[in-house]
Amino acid sequence: MIEVEHLHCGYPDRKVLQDVTLTIEPGEFVGILGPNGSGKTTLVLALSGVLPIQSGSIRWNGRPLQTIPHRERARLMAVVPQDVHVTFPFTCREVVAMGRYPHQKRAGRETPQDRDALHRAMAWTDTEALAERPVTLLSGGERQRVFVAKALAQDTPVLLLDEAVSAMDVHRKLQIFDLLTSLQHKEKRTIVFVLHDINTAAVFCRRLVFLKAGRIVADGPTDHVLQPKVLEDVYETSALVYPVPGRDGVRQVFFTRPMAGLTTDAAMLGSCGVIPACVQRSQIRTVKA
């Protein structure tokens, strides 16, 4: 369990997170969302112990995070960062193998267990064909797959992913989310995923946490939190939320901009011919023109 209490955290010249309190239970799949600069990456850095806490606390299974040695932390949680800069042309296999370092007595000395974890992670992410290629020469989406594989090779109960699939095409993105969902269900892994793609979060994350200006402004089960009022407060943009037929409890979101002379989002979207057939007239909210 991860318990964050009254956390204040940021950078020497900038306070970012303010009074953040949240508890993440084992086996949860949580989406962290919010506008640019709202503090999502800062929260990931704080949860992983990279960024010092200014005040408040973060506990992992009851232990203050700062008291857990680095190697032990790396066996508890794997992080896929937002920006992955690699300048040395390691092969993809070597990059994925780095995920095993926290488990090795001497870094780089592989055991059969390491090799199993590595092969499994590369098979799960469909990165075997990339194994001998230099990571510096991959496309953005391919590189992200390799770094997801590295995190999976780390074989941790908790995965923190920060915009980890942002460069992937829709097929690859859904493969990774299906994989994470399966790990959540079968192995009770905890997944904390920072993303901007609300509609993907709406399908896969059972809980959503919205940050705005460093504070949590909404936190709860996806079907409770995914409301036009919440989205409009967070993103300052009109929002339509509609249920997906045949997918119990799953909703999708349209963000819209009112146009001159039109009084409803329905009129605007209708005029563009983009209202999906599944949106019922009664579900469309009137907004100010």
Ligand X SMILES: Nc1ncnc2c1ncn2[C@@H]1O[C@H](COP(=O)(O)OP(=O)(O)OP(=O)(O)O)[C@@H](O)[C@H]1O
Residue from 3, 18, 37, 270 that binds ligand X (CB under 6 A)? 37
54 binds ligand X (CB under 6 A): no
38 binds ligand X (CB under 6 A): yes
Convert residues 1-30 into a mask of x (bound to ligand X by CB under 6 A) and - (unbound): ----------x-xx-x--------------
- Least distance (Å) between residue 148 CB and ligand X: 18
40 binds ligand X (CB under 6 A): yes
36 binds ligand X (CB under 6 A): yes
Residue from 42, 48, 127, 200 that binds ligand X (CB under 6 A)? 42
- Contact assessment for residue 86 and residue 136, using Cβ atoms and an 8 Å cutoff: yes
Q: Which is nearer to ligand X, 15 or 188 (CB)?
A: 15
- Least distance (Å) between residue 98 CB and ligand X: 24
- Least distance (Å) between residue 81 CB and ligand X: 11
Point out which residues bind ligand X (CB under 6 A): 11, 13-14, 16, 34, 36-42
